[in-house]
A and B are shown apart, each in its own frame.
Chain A
């Protein structure tokens, strides 16, 4: 009996099996023999493989139109992160910083260099521009430098945005990314009033954190950070602070210790982040950097450790795995600025520098700090919203950042789970498309996706329960 092949991609998963995925990320593994039979129209319609392929809409033996309709609905759902355009607006109130991070990616400025502070005129123009975005949700995220060094401009932006929003009625949200060293009870009362979330950095236990992220005044930033995390929780609530970690060379091989620290500090989420090649991380790569293969090994070890902790009843999600699992195992849309197709640059998030410069992403701004302004869209003092967001430059950049049309990515069976990152490609290779065979990000993403698929393939109840608890953000019932 003849059947119709539907759009799918494949790769040789191991010596015996082929991994098949369709346009919307539904997948299955079949044997090499079944694969040969399948593509040569010799598959037995009564076989389990045939039924599995049909169930995942990789083939059909019924009327075609309803199947296309169904796949189109799923595709639309998967890409619905594109619906509302730019929601994430990052603002740099100052480039000054009192930290002395080994891997500083933004090339911080001295704490006394007030010429790198944003002024009110620039802040007002930025907020006006942000509200030109059609997105029903607006998230304003304060980045740095250390943003609390210019708290008065943060207050101005929050209050002006809140005032504008009386008329605009968007879902307005604020986040401050801070090392917390300067936070005070007075600030926290203010942040509570405006429901501002806090995102900080915790790189692991005391020795790793102090090695990676010392303060300029004294090396022991860890004790101060833990004290301030607890202060924030006292004023803003137990889940008011999120933490991110960045892996330097000192972190590799220590992911178990880092996980233990997150559990000890009562965090429910961790995101194993590899180093980005910008700023001091790029300048000092011989000292703090590492091969991506070493990061991948540490990642796998850390992930297995977290899974076991969850199995024992402690809820701790690994953010990168959780994002990918949602893409692999559910039909839902998951926009994530760094890993989506089309890329998140401009259409999902932009960043406004202290001087009003608008960059396609935080990484674009980081490159500018290294004297390469390729990803500068313009300045709020000189260009309108239309001129910035609807420019030939923006359109051309996004056109070059769709996996569906990039070399190797276009036929990659992991395409539905991955994303394009033109700024990273440019930074690593001097080209926004880049050669995938030497891309560290591609190597990392593929290795983690394959590891997750191998774990899914085990069909182990304990692991499955952990994965679904992350996807649904619900602790396992024990």
Chain B
């Protein structure tokens, strides 16, 4: 592998949660080896290495960042209705009251 098959991005820990980064990284694991770590500047450091030479790294950072925003939004809005979801499922599987 050459340096052309590798990319690195640092992400603020104040803005993104670990779960959002992990969920985002998961979506890219078909084509890339991904390592998540903490940088010396206390940021999340995500390293990408293409599994095959032909997997394009040109837009990997852009695509990753866009997907990361969606994942963080999912976590943020999920917090707003998590209790409602639990209540809904609990009610659905409870015996019907007479």
Q: Specify whether A and B are partners.
A: yes
Q: A residues within 8 Å of B by Cβ?
A: 4-12, 23, 39, 64, 68-69, 71-73, 75-76, 79, 407-408, 411, 435, 437-438
Pairwise interchain contact A23-B88, C-beta atoms closer than 8 A: yes
With A76-B92, A437-B30 in contact, is A64–B23 under 8 Å at CB?
no
With A437-B30, A438-B30 in contact, is A79–B92 under 8 Å at CB?
yes
B87 at the interface (CB under 8 A from A): yes
Bound-state CA distance A6–B70 (Å) is: 18
Contacts of A79 in B (CB 8 A): 92-93
Pairwise interchain contact A75-B88, C-beta atoms closer than 8 A: yes
Residue from the list A11, A75, A411 in contact with B92, Cβ < 8 A? A75
Task: Give chain B's interface residue range (CB within 8 Å of chain A).
Answer: 20 to 34
Contacts of B70 in A (CB 8 A): 10-12
The smallest beta-carbon distance between B86 and chain A, in angstroms, is 9
The smallest beta-carbon distance between A34 and chain B, in angstroms, is 14
Residue from the list B26, B85, B91, B93 in contact with A437, Cβ < 8 A? B26
Pairwise interchain contact B26-A39, C-beta atoms closer than 8 A: no
Pairwise interchain contact A72-B91, C-beta atoms closer than 8 A: yes
B80 at the interface (CB under 8 A from A): yes
Contacts of B92 in A (CB 8 A): 72-73, 75-76, 79
Pairwise interchain contact B88-A5, C-beta atoms closer than 8 A: no
Contacts of B30 in A (CB 8 A): 435, 437-438
Pairwise interchain contact A7-B27, C-beta atoms closer than 8 A: no
In the complex, what residue of chain B is closest to A437 when comparing beta carbons?
B30
Bound-state CA distance A408–B93 (Å) is: 24
Residue from the list B74, B88, B91 in contact with A411, Cβ < 8 A? B74
**Binary contact track B26-68/A, C-beta < 8 Å → 1, others 0:** 1111100000000000000000000000000000000000000
Bound-state CA distance A438–B30 (Å) is: 6
By Cβ-Cβ distance, the 8 closest A-B pairs, closest first, are A72-B91, A437-B30, A75-B92, A7-B85, A76-B92, A72-B92, A7-B81, A438-B30
Pairwise interchain contact A5-B85, C-beta atoms closer than 8 A: no
Pairwise interchain contact B26-A7, C-beta atoms closer than 8 A: no
In the complex, what residue of chain B is closest to A76 when comparing beta carbons?
B92
Contacts of B1 in A (CB 8 A): none
Q: List 16 A-B contacts (CB under 8 A).
A: A4-B81, A5-B77, A6-B84, A8-B81, A10-B74, A23-B89, A64-B84, A68-B91, A73-B92, A75-B89, A76-B92, A79-B93, A407-B26, A411-B23, A411-B74, A437-B30
Pairwise interchain contact A68-B88, C-beta atoms closer than 8 A: yes
The smallest beta-carbon distance between A411 and chain B, in angstroms, is 5
In the complex, what residue of chain A is closest to B27 when comparing beta carbons?
A437
B73 at the interface (CB under 8 A from A): yes
In the complex, what residue of chain A is closest to B86 when comparing beta carbons?
A7
With A408-B27, A435-B29, A438-B30 in contact, is A71–B88 under 8 Å at CB?
yes
The smallest beta-carbon distance between B81 and chain A, in angstroms, is 5
The smallest beta-carbon distance between A74 and chain B, in angstroms, is 8
New A-B pairs, 9, CB < 8 Å, besides A7-B88, A408-B23: A6-B81, A7-B85, A9-B74, A11-B70, A68-B91, A72-B89, A75-B88, A407-B23, A411-B23
